With several copies, the nearest count.
Chain A
Amino acid sequence: MSIKEDRIVESLLFSAGKPLSVEEIQETTGMSPKHVSDAIDHLMQSYNNERKDETSLEIVKAGSKFIMQVKKTFTEKSMMVAKPEIRTDLLKTLALIAFHQPVKQSNLRHMIGERIYGDVDQLMNMHLVHSEPHGATEVLTTTRLFPEYFGIDSTKPEEIREFLAKKVIGHVVKEKQQELSKEDESVSEANTEEQSPQTQMKSE
């Protein structure tokens, strides 16, 4: 039943949300490697060629694995609805660590409470934060993965901190500018409204 096997592999590639190897698909489905490869071939043929203009999705080879993803043309919009891989609470804790590093865990507890312990565990599991014993507490820094992840061109904690501080200032300034420009817009809108009767009068 090759058609049914195509469907099973399709549902797997869809639900995984990450690249899957032939072995992984084989283990989950119990299909033979040949059947898995055939199914992937059929799906790629269908998605990327036959139905190319009738779908926004594609199946591509990523390294030795395969992934179902949104075509490049459509990524910009779809990115906006996708879930971020670090949930907001955890991201806040990560940001605090990155900005205050090297920072004692006990100090962070004073800042945000008991939550810090669980958060640090999770961030360490994600290899984004490193912890070093220091007396009765732990001193936290970001790992080498951190600058890589956020595209920061430095691995030194002090430089990362500085870079982020500058960015925050820039960010705040930019936000402020946007607020101001919005106010400007509403002012100019008000102006347009004022002008429009004149324009009407002119056209009359």
Chain B
Amino acid sequence: MELDNDIINHLLFHKALIDENNDMSRINQYLEMATAAATGESTSIQDPFDRSVFLAFDLVLNQHMNPWDIDLVSFSTMYLKRAKKEKIDLLTAGKIIYMAWQVLRMQSDHLVVNMETKEQEVDQGFGWEDIPTSSWLANDDEYSYTNLLMKMPQPPLEEPLRRDSTRKVTLIELLSAFDEARKESEQYQLLDHLRQEERIILEQKARSAMKGSAHEDHLEEDVAAVWEKISQFPKKTMNFTEICEVDSAEERIKTFVSILFLAYEKKIMVHQQKFPYGEIFIKTLGFT
């Protein structure tokens, strides 16, 4: 397979990015490596620029080239300029950025080993850390994190395999559990008692408020009608507007009161996010 002139040009362009202390012989070496690598996957990257970039990193990652031989600062500046000017295949770009991360990682490992601070050089100008990967990933476009994630067959989180073991419970623990259960049971009974008293008072209040009004007779029917609507709803969760079809004050009150009754009877669960004027959400319970 032949290397096209573009690639050679771009490799020469990389020569310009390589530390001046390195001699020319290095670029020939790269060309040799590139010839070898060209038979690999890099051949299918259409854009010659991307191909050259790919090759540059491929050299570092697969051919064990010294990562410091690529000047990431000037390289990233050039790359971004190019990315802004032309439409670049985002998948390839993603791949390159990922590889760049790896290179950066290798560089930092290298840095730690050498204990030589080249920080000043890196701090000047533009670095990979300035590339807005997070905004690229947080965007709403096809290549956003969200979209990529939803398309993945497996989520990026995996449950690690840990030891599934338990030990026997001791008699002492049983005794302590009884001690706690006894205290909790006392509290529960007290609360339950208070709750019942409250319930009776509320029911009495509601009855006396309804007495004599025309609503008294129709209330049960209204509740039944709303329940019918809710149970026939295709989804388990719905909102108030979906249930209250006719937009009149009377209908809204009728539906609302019925919903409160159904919630009291624990047939549905009602919640509202925006208080007090937000949408009311209804969730059916114990029915499928």
User: In the complex, are there CB atoms of A and B closer than 8 Å?
Assistant: yes
Name A's B-contacting residues (CB within 8 A): 11, 14-18, 60, 67-70, 72, 74-75, 78-79, 81-86, 88, 91-96, 98-100, 105-106, 110-114, 117-118, 135-138, 149-152, 161, 164-173, 176-177, 180-181, 183-184
A160 to B158, CA, bound (A): 14
The interface residues of chain B, by DSSP majority, are classed as helix
Beta-carbon contacts under 8 Å, B140-174 to A:
145-146, 148-150, 152, 154-174
> In the bound complex, do residue A92 and residue B149 qualify as a contact, i.e. CB atoms below 8 Å apart?
yes
How far, in Å, is A66 (CB) from chain B's closest CB?
Answer: 12
> In the bound complex, do residue A172 and residue B168 qualify as a contact, i.e. CB atoms below 8 Å apart?
no
Interface size counted on chain B using CB atoms at 8 A:
63
Residues in chain A near residue B146, CB distance under 8 A:
96, 99-100, 111
With A15-B163, A18-B165 known to touch, is A167 a contact of B41 (CB < 8 Å)?
no
Given A17-B162, A91-B169, A161-B134, 14 extra CB contacts under 8 A: A14-B163, A17-B164, A70-B161, A72-B160, A81-B164, A82-B162, A84-B173, A88-B155, A95-B156, A96-B178, A98-B178, A166-B98, A171-B176, A184-B41
B273's partner among A79, A137, A166 (CB-CB below 8 A) is: A137
Closest residue of B by beta carbon distance from A179: B44
The stretch from B13-21, B26-34, B181-189, B205-213 touching chain A is B181-189
A69 to B94, CA, bound (A): 32
> In the bound complex, do residue B172 and residue A15 qualify as a contact, i.e. CB atoms below 8 Å apart?
no
> In the bound complex, do residue B165 and residue A168 qualify as a contact, i.e. CB atoms below 8 Å apart?
no
Q: Does B215 contact A (CB under 8 A)?
A: no
How far, in Å, is A24 (CB) from chain B's closest CB?
Answer: 14
> In the bound complex, do residue A177 and residue B41 qualify as a contact, i.e. CB atoms below 8 Å apart?
yes
A149 to B158, CA, bound (A): 10
With A150-B158, A171-B179, A180-B44 known to touch, is A112 a contact of B165 (CB < 8 Å)?
no
Closest residue of A by beta carbon distance from B156: A167
> In the bound complex, do residue A164 and residue B156 qualify as a contact, i.e. CB atoms below 8 Å apart?
yes
Residues in chain A near residue B47, CB distance under 8 A:
none
How far, in Å, is A158 (CB) from chain B's closest CB?
Answer: 9
Name B's A-contacting residues (CB within 8 A): 40-41, 43-44, 91-92, 94-95, 97-99, 101, 133-134, 137-138, 145-146, 148-150, 152, 154-182, 184-185, 188-189, 192, 235, 237, 273-275, 278, 281
With A83-B166, A111-B188, A113-B188 known to touch, is A88 a contact of B161 (CB < 8 Å)?
no
> In the bound complex, do residue A82 and residue B164 qualify as a contact, i.e. CB atoms below 8 Å apart?
yes
Counting chain A CB atoms within 10 Å of each CB, the highest count among B99, B133, B177 belongs to B177
A and B contact pairs by CB, cutoff 8 A, 19 listed: A15-B165, A16-B163, A17-B164, A72-B158, A75-B158, A82-B166, A92-B149, A99-B138, A110-B189, A114-B235, A117-B237, A118-B237, A135-B274, A136-B273, A136-B278, A152-B171, A168-B137, A169-B95, A181-B41
> In the bound complex, do residue B162 and residue A100 qualify as a contact, i.e. CB atoms below 8 Å apart?
no
> In the bound complex, do residue A171 and residue B167 qualify as a contact, i.e. CB atoms below 8 Å apart?
no
How far, in Å, is A76 (CB) from chain B's closest CB?
Answer: 9
With A95-B181, A96-B185 known to touch, is A67 a contact of B155 (CB < 8 Å)?
no
Residues in chain B near residue A74, CB distance under 8 A:
161
> In the bound complex, do residue B159 and residue A86 qualify as a contact, i.e. CB atoms below 8 Å apart?
yes
A18 to B164, CA, bound (A): 8
With A164-B145, A168-B175 known to touch, is A95 a contact of B161 (CB < 8 Å)?
no
Residues in chain A near residue B161, CB distance under 8 A:
11, 15, 69-70, 74-75, 78-79, 82
> In the bound complex, do residue B97 and residue A169 qualify as a contact, i.e. CB atoms below 8 Å apart?
yes
How far, in Å, is B99 (CB) from chain A's closest CB?
Answer: 8
| Top 7 A-B pairs, shortest CB-CB distance | A17-B165, A136-B274, A167-B156, A95-B178, A85-B166, A92-B181, A91-B155
A60 to B172, CA, bound (A): 29
